[in-house]
Amino acid sequence: MTPNPADQAVIADFHALSGFGETERGGVQREAGTEPDGGQRAWLTQWLSSRGFTVEFDQIGNQFGMLELVPGAPYVLVGSHLDSQPRGGRYDGAYGVLAAAHAANRLAGLWRDAGRTPQYNLAVVNWFNEEGSRFQPSMMGSSVYTGKLDAETALATRDLAGVTVREALEDTGCLGSGRGPEAACYAEIHIEQGRILDEEDTTIGLVESTWAANKYHLVVHGEQSHTGSTVMADRQDAMLGAAHLVVAAREIADAFTETPLHTSVGQMLIHPNSPVVVAREVRLHLDLRSADENVLAEADAMLHERFPEIEKKARVRIEKATAHSWGVLSYNPDGVKLARSAAEDLGLSHRHMMTIAGHDSTNMKDIVPTVMLFVPSVDGISHNEKEFTKDEDICAGVDLLTEVVSRLADGDLTG
C-alpha cells in the first residue's frame, strides 16, 4: 500500500530530524544545549514559522510554536522533547515533537478550510532537557514551566565540564524570556520504552498512571589511600561501598518475583578516579520503581537496611544527598476516555497502560488535564541506538494525536 502524502511527509521529516547528531549505528547524540540540539531547534523553528506558527523560547529554553486563533484564549499544548541521551535512539521524544507539529499543522489547515475557530489556541512545544543526562534534574523545562523548579536554579545548573544551562542556552540561541503561553490542557505521544504493545501487537497505549519511584542521590564517603601499599583492613574504599550499593540494588530487584521492581544505578562520579588511588568519594544515582506502592515501600526498607551493613564492610559513610519520590499517579481519567474514544473512531487497536519512565506529561498532568499516548517500540529497546518504531505505527500515532488535539481544542475535556 502506497502511503498517503500526509504520512509521507511525516516519515520524510522524521528522517530529516534524525540527521541532527546522528551516530554511526543509527542512533542520535544530541544532549540538551549541545550544538546538534541547537541545530534541530533551529530546524523546528524554520518548519513551524514557514507554516504560520509564531516561535518563541521561554526563560528556560522551552520552544513554543504558537497558532493564535482566539485572541487571548489559553492554549492546547502538544509536544515532547527533541534532546536525547548520549548514543540514544531517534524516536525517544523527537517523535512526539514531530507528531505534535504535524498534528497542529493538519488541524490549522482543517480549521482554515472549514472557516471555523476552535475554543482554544494551539501550540507545539519542544521541552528543554527532558533527558537529564547532561544537566540534572531531568524534565527540567517542563518542571520550570509547571512551577516545580525555580528558573534561576535551573539556569545555574552546571554539566560535568562546568558549563551552566544559561551558557548552553545562550550558545545555541535558545534562551528566551517569560513563562511561555498559558496552557488549557496538554497532550503528548511517545514510544512505549517497554515491550507490551510490541508483544501484544497493539498500536496505541492509553496511559492511565505512572509507576511509583524513589530516586536517591547518594554520596559514599571514604578516605583516599594507595591502592597497592595500604593494608586491606585500613582501607575506607568509597568505590567498594558504591559497588556494594549497585549489587544490593540488583539483589533487591531480584527478590520481587511477582510484581516487578526495577532498580538501577546509571551514573557514578568517582573521586579522584586514579588507577592507583583508593577512591575517597563516589556520588551515584540509585532508583527504585514499581507499579505497586507497597512493593516500592518494601524495597525501600530493604535498601535502607543494607546501608549500615555496606558502611561497615567498606568502612565508608553513605550520605543521602537528595531524595525524590512519587507514588502511582493518575492521568486525568476523562482524558484517557477521550483518547480511547478517538482511537476507536480511527479503528486503532489500543489498551490502557502505565508509564514506567517519566515524561514531560508527568509534570503537565499536575497543572492541566493531560493526555498521554504510546506507540509500540520494537523489543522495547530504549536509550539505545537500536531503538525502532515501524513507520505504520509512527503514522497511526500522528493520526490519533491529531484527533485527540482536535477534541481538546474544541474543549471536549475542559468543558
Site residues for a second copy, window 202-241 (CB under 8 A)? Answer: 211, 213, 223-232, 234-235, 237, 239-240
Report how far residue 204's alpha carbon sits from residue 371's, in angstroms, rounded to the nearest whole number. Answer: 13
* Comparison of 18 and 214: residue with beta carbon closer to a second copy: 214
CB 6 within 8 A of CB 106: yes
Task: Please tell me whether residue 264 binds a second copy under the rule CB under 8 A.
Answer: yes
| Site size for a second copy (CB under 8 A) | 72
Long-range contacts of 224-231 (CB under 8 A, 24+ apart): 224/272, 224/277, 224/278, 224/279, 224/280, 225/277, 225/278, 226/276, 226/277, 226/278, 227/275, 227/276, 227/277, 227/278, 228/276, 230/278
> Exposed, middle or buried: residue 88 (CB in 10 Å: 0-12, 13-18, 19+)?
buried
C-alpha cell at 381: 529497546
Q: Which listed residue (262, 317, 340, 351) binds a second copy by CB under 8 A?
A: 262
Q: Which listed residue (36, 358, 369, 376) binds a second copy by CB under 8 A?
A: 358
**What residues numbered 68-107 form the site for a second copy, per CB under 8 A?**
85-87
Residues 113-132, mask of contacts with a second copy (x by CB under 8 A): ------------------xx
**What residues numbered 273-332 form the site for a second copy, per CB under 8 A?**
273-280, 285, 287, 289
> Exposed, middle or buried: residue 227 (CB in 10 Å: 0-12, 13-18, 19+)?
middle
Residues 12-51, mask of contacts with a second copy (x by CB under 8 A): ----------------------------------------
**What residues numbered 161-200 form the site for a second copy, per CB under 8 A?**
192-195
Which has the closest alpha carbon to 370: 80, 149, 138, 53? 80
**What residues numbered 395-414 form the site for a second copy, per CB under 8 A?**
none
* Comparison of 68 and 311: residue with beta carbon closer to a second copy: 311
